[in-house]
Structure 1
């Protein structure tokens, strides 16, 4: 089968410049690379054809011979004979450089860069987490809390460079600052992290004595944290730049404070609302009256109890609950009344209750209704 015209293979005109030929080769090689075309059996042959065409057209002498004699220039005895990839050491170097560019296009993102010199690996510091427990009263009013955070900070002796005062990190001699080294294995070029600089691209010849060359030192810091009113368990407060120090001049991480609100002996919280179970004397529940109840802000208020109230009755005090974290109205306070049966009665109290029972008539509507249903149930079973 006759060979295709090399200019046609690369998709360029005969008067294309060296840069245009190289650009076209990179695009074709990237498009037809076998690793990207597992479902196209013909891709490998086309990929080799593209490489063969570029090997000729990138070299001025081979290109001139091809322009004059065509493919015959490279057949046995032809003026350009010598075969594929025999353009001398410089020609091989040019081809390797072009293929290296294609390799970067294909795998650059995976390797962590897109060609060119790799800049020093300045890395952001890690984020830190601090768990802070507050009382319900503190969550209600807000507070200013002082905390101690262990972690790493930028070394002040070397200003985070890791180098002794008066010196500076130098370009890694192994990878020339790229942070990666390449090894040729047959047709492919394999990249790996530079073992000398661990991917940083720079090495420290005179490490700082204070931090051992890391640019960071372990240090406990004391911070003042503002706990806003209305926080609840799970609330997260972010302190930007208060996390671990960065590496190689990178920015510091953040500190996240996670709030946990401790249980309260009187109040239970449900979102912005508060709930409180209040015992009510039997006489007050029967006759009605007033009871005094506490508020979370430390105050107190009197609440009217309607006569004949039953256990479980809820009274609502508007905007006596928790403040809203994002502003706006407070939640509500719900009082759940629990009618209390008296204990440890005196003989006289017992006597009075027996008199009350004997004189009572239809004083317990729920009880009368319940036993009426029970009686109907039993009659239905026996019938």
Structure 2
């Protein structure tokens, strides 16, 4: 019997209820060990990175924005100046350790024959010129707000798949709920809260756990923003342009396989957006900055902590024996979607997973 269930945006709906206990067992058996194994690699690789890290440039700042889900916030400059763009967040709920709150931020930049140039950046109404702090603030907001929103429908989507025994989407039920449980309730969480241990293993972030949950439901920055705006500004092969084309491709595949239309956008975020956003963010692994936006400089310790965090958490972390990528799943729905995405961008198609796996 099919159960009617609404797909709700709740990252905190991650309790181990009886219907999903098997997913927790699978996660702890196949995916969790990868974090312990990769932690050793992250520490060693981050020691090497200390010798090659460099200060962020304007190109890094703009490149990061244009190649992650931050691109969804890019708009042409309000005064209409050609080649100038703005990214504005008016009402943010994120908090960092030390009593800091990110209430708002605004970036204006220009593009042209001579490359890109950051014209102005403000945080909480105060102008910031230090490129390391600018990059850190944008990274902080992206990881804990924009990227987190790609996780938002995953728990409810997984419960729908399990409760209704949607066999065509079985692989899209893996890992997501137990991953969110660890993120929000385990002492090994990367988020800042009383009792977490991640700071001792050098992969802990600066963002307060409760503020991430609150900000995940805050859609104010997205109001009036659509991928089509960035497509028109930067072209169909831009990050936002590819996302829009990918959603259209997914819509075709969903219709072709008789999947309920209400699952389209949850699946889009759960599979495509989440994966390609991780991949886009990981391209800036050699930029030196602190995870805490209000740090005045980036010490060796802070640079090391950032690198461990990024290698362990930001970069794709999959079990090679059970990667759950679209191309590794020999089932009609996923192979069909993989072929459609491959026509848009083969590299992008190769990193897309069937669920939120990391």
**Which range, TM-score by smaller chain?**
under 0.3
- Greater fraction strand: 1
Structure with greater proportional helix content: 2
Looking at CA atoms only, which structure, 1 or 2, has the larger radius of gyration? 1
**TM-score of the pair, normalised by structure 2:** 0.19
| Structure with the larger RCO, 1 or 2 (CA within 8 Å, 6+ apart) | 2
**What's the TM-score once normalised by structure 1's chain length?**
0.18
